[in-house]
Each structure stands twice: as structure tokens, then as C-alpha cells.
């Protein structure tokens, strides 16, 4: 089967890629969130009347951005055309061996996160401001992962993809170290470092064996080929190694999947001083 158009169109050799990504360093995570939210609003305003696909990670990294978007919505910003395109979710195997997403009511569900932490506050702010709220959240289907790439392709690609990196192993979404550059949306086992990173995100995970062992995730190539622009957010002293690794990269390094940012169109790396070490 031929790959979706957005996946085949932008996978040429490195003449299209930045040799490196020069970082923007701001004082703290809140300043980063405000800057990224302003970028989203700027790009959204430039798209006219069509819907705007925003690729979103769950977890701590982008929370200041989501809070800033809600504040802008409260002041009357038009976010009605925004579509939240989530990167991944935890999955569990059913009795027949097929995978399904975890219950969205669980605190660690990425679908639940999107509803509670991204769309919910924006919708409430829109209601208070008397404006139209966005309503759509897209999630990959573990029963048919390829359909996610196809849906993104049909929509014309992701306008802006917010990215985050694992502190301990450089995972991006749930793409694990060793993930091939041409990987597309798929179900994957989760390594111990990724699962321990997520113990920090969800305090109810008091033991490693409480963290799900599998996830469905956009692929490395889904991010690189299907996005018009990406913003990698790196915040916190615990991300200093990740910051150093990404800023030193000149191409995708499979042992640190977040380095795919180097091979994305229009990449920006934005960090706080704690992560940058200055």
C-alpha cells in the first residue's frame, strides 16, 4: 500500500532539514507557555476559515501552553477552528489479545487528559467570553493505527505540532529508543525509562508495575512528514541532558527519538533556563 501523501512528500534527504535547531531560551516554563501560545494564535489567525490541527502531547511539558491558551480564550481569542490532535495513549490488551485505549476516566488516560486539561479549560473560558469553543479531539486507534496517518493526510497535515522529550531516554510521544526513522502510527511496548518518566507525571503510579506496558503512538515519520511546523518544548532542570542531546544533534538519532525535530519542517526548540543550564 502506498504511504499517505503527507508521509511520502516530505521524506527527502537532508537538504530539506536544518543542520541544527538554535534554541530560544526564556526565563521559566510559564514564559515558554506564553510564547508558544502566542505562536499558536498567530498561526491560527493566518489560516483563514479552515480548521487548524494542533498536535498535542499530554503530560507536564505543555501544560503552561494549554493554560495560556485558556487565558487567551477568556479574553475573547477565537479558538473555534482548533482541533486537538493527540500524540498517543496507553493501551491494554483485551481477552482476545487486541489492544484498546485505557478508560478515559483514568487520570493517566491521554484522551482524558485532553478532555480535562486542554479542551475543558478552553471551552469554559470560551463560554465565559461568549465565544464558540473547539470541540474535536483526535486520538490514534490501537485497532487500526494506520487510519490515524490517513486521517491526518486527508485533513492536509498538522499545522503545528507541539513536541516534548523524555528526560531519561529521549522518547517522543511513545516512540522508544531504537524506533526507525520511517515509523508511522503504531502500538509499541514501553521501556522502563519511559514508564518511570510517566511515574513523575502521574503520582498515583507509586510502583513501576502500575504503569501500563504498551501504548499507541504517532510514528517518528508521522511527526516529521505530516507537520507544517513543530515546536519542541524543553523545560526543567531534569531535562538538561535532553536539551544538550537535541541541540547537539545534526540528524535523527534512533537512540534518542526526540532528535527527529532536526528533520522536521520549520522546527523551533524553546526551553527555559533550568533546562538550558543558563
**The three cell numbers locating residue 274:** 533550568
Q: CA 165, CA 15: separation in Å to the nearest integer? A: 25
Give me the residue spans of the domains in the chain. 19-276
The pLDDT of residue 17 is: 57
Burial class (CB in 10 A: 0-12, 13-18, 19+), 43: middle
Residue owning grid cell 501544560? 63
> Would you write out the chain's pLDDT as a tens digit for each of its 278 residues?
344 457 454 444 434 555 578 899 999 999 999 999 999 999 999 998 999 999 999 999 999 999 999 999 999 999 999 999 999 999 999 888 899 999 999 999 999 999 999 999 999 999 999 999 999 999 999 999 999 999 999 999 999 999 999 998 999 999 999 999 999 999 999 999 889 888 877 878 889 999 999 999 999 999 999 999 999 999 999 999 999 999 999 999 999 999 999 999 999 999 999 999 96
SS3 38: helix
Do the beta carbons of residue 126 and residue 133 sit within 8 Å?
A: yes
Please state, in angstroms and as integers, the Cα–Cα distance from residue 140 to each residue in 24, 34, 147, 275, following that order.
31, 28, 8, 30
H helical segments located in 10-74: 29-45, 63-74
Is CATH 3.30.70.100 what the domain over 19-276 is classified as, yes or no?
A: no
Parallel, antiparallel or unpaired: strands 99-101 and 52-56:
unpaired
Amino acid at each position: 500500500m502506498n504511504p499517505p501523501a503527507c508521509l511520502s512528500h516530505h521524506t527527502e534527504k537532508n537538504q530539506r532539514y536544518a543542520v541544527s535547531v538554535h534554541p530560544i531560551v526564556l526565563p521559566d516554563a510559564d514564559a515558554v507557555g506564553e510564547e508558544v501560545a502566542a505562536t499558536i494564535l498567530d498561526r491560527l489567525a493566518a489560516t483563514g476559515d479552515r480548521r487548524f490541527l494542533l498536535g498535542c502531547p499530554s503530560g507536564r511539558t505543555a501544560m503552561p501552553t494549554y493554560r495560556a491558551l485558556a487565558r487567551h480564550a477568556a479574553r475573547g481569542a477565537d479558538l473555534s477552528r482548533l482541533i486537538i490532535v493527540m500524540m498517543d495513549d496507553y493501551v491494554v490488551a483485551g481477552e482476545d489479545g487486541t489492544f484498546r485505549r485505557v478508560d478515559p476516566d483514568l487520570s493517566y488516560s491521554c484522551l482524558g487528559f485532553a478532555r480535562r486539561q486542554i479542551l475543558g479549560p478552553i471551552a469554559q473560558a470560551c463560554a465565559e467570553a461568549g465565544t464558540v469553543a473547539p470541540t474535536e479531539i483526535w486520538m490514534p486507534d490501537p485497532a487500526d493505527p494506520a487510519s490515524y496517518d490517513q486521517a491526518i493526510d486527508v485533513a492536509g497535515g498538522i499545522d503545528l505540532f507541539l513536541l516534548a522529550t523524555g528526560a531519561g531516554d529521549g522518547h517522543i510521544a511513545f516512540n522508544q529508543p531504537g524506533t526507525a526513522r520511517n515509523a508511522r502510527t503504531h502500538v509499541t511496548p514501553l521501556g522502563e525509562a519511559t514508564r518511570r518518566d510517566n511515574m513523575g507525571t502521574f503520582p498515583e503510579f507509586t510502583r513501576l508495575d502500575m504503569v501500563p506496558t504498551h501504548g499507541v503512538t504517532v510514528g517518528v515519520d508521522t511527526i516529521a512528514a505530516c507537520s507544517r511546523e513543530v515546536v519542541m518544548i524543553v523545560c526543567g532542570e531534569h531535562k538538561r541532558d535532553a536539551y544538550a542531546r537535541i541541540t547537539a544533534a545534526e540528524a535523527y538519532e534512533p537512540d534518542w527519538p526526540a532528535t527527529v525535530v532536526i528533520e522536521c519542517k520549520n522546527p523551533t526548540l524553546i526551553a527555559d533556563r533550568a533546562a538550558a543550564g543558563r
